[in-house]
Amino acid sequence: MAQDMDASAYGMDVMDCAAPHTLTLDKKGNIYITFKGAGSIGVLQNPANCVNLDGCWKSFPIAAGAKPFYIDIATDDTTGHQYIYFNDVADSHVGVFDVTHGHFPPAPPRIINLLKHGFNFNPRAGGLVGLWNGAALFTAYSEKGLLMYVDPAGDVEPVFLANPSGMTTDPLAYLHICATHLADMSKQDITVLSSSNDFPFMETEQSPYNPDGMRQIRDIDLPKIVSAKCSSA
């Protein structure tokens, strides 16, 4: 690793061959990076506070064969608590750091194995977004056509989407997601993106098994939907 600093710029190289993909910051300016090649989350102390470069990095391996990809921060608007969520697009893991106090190094993340939550398939956790209540929503980049809701305690619930024909599930595999807060902070407009990238063409047609497309679901109250589902189970 190398460090360059002058009066106008500050730059820092990351670990060689670690294949960094996405990053986010906590409220103290510490930087959390997904290292897809290294199968870990790297945390860099706020560069403005970094004196000894080697002491400014902390690595958190996920699991053998893991490929962490997306990462985002969620703030609970009621308590002010903050959490950083990340996923593993190759395997069945999602993780969450409690970064409420902005300590460096942070406490190790909670690693959630989705296969131990009753899912008998690899959800392939894709894009994710932090929500207003400190939870997060992520896509399942698989043929099941669903989103997943995870909270800081590690509880995971599937959110099935109705497709335009009115069916209760949507066969599309969604790779990425974004959410927009509405005036009512408990609700969001959700936009999801399906991709043919990892899906082969059908044998009988020159069209991908999972077509490229974008879909928007408006005025959705995800915490309420999940709470209702849990209380009725």
d(CA 53, CA 178): 34
d(CA 160, CA 168): 7
Helices (H), strands (E): how many in the chain? 1, 17
| List of long-range contacts for 54-59, beta carbons under 8 Å, 24+ apart | 54/1, 57/1, 57/15, 58/104, 58/105, 58/106, 59/15, 59/35
d(CA 133, CA 149): 12
Q: Is the pLDDT of residue 7 over 70?
A: no
- More confident: 232 or 44: 44
Which of 89-98, 137-146, 187-196 is the most confident on average? Answer: 89-98
Rg (CA), the chain: 19
179: which DSSP letter?
Answer: E
- Give the chain's end-to-end CA distance (angstroms, integer): 51
Residue for token pair 């209760």: 168
- Which residues make beta-bridge pairs with 59? 42
**pLDDT score recorded for residue 28:** 92
- More confident: 190 or 87: 87
**pLDDT score recorded for residue 16:** 62
Looking at every residue in the chain, the average pLDDT score rounds to: 78
Q: Is the pLDDT of residue 204 over 60?
A: no
Segment 57-73 shows an average pLDDT of 90
Segment 54-68 shows an average pLDDT of 87
**pLDDT score recorded for residue 65:** 85
Q: Is the pLDDT of residue 145 over 80?
A: no
User: For residues 125 and 137, is the Cβ–Cβ distance under 8 A?
Assistant: no
d(CA 69, CA 86): 7
How far lies 204's CA from each of 200, 201, 209, 212, 213, in Å? 12, 9, 11, 18, 21
**pLDDT score recorded for residue 232:** 36
> Which phi and psi (to 5°) does residue 69 adopt?
-130, -65
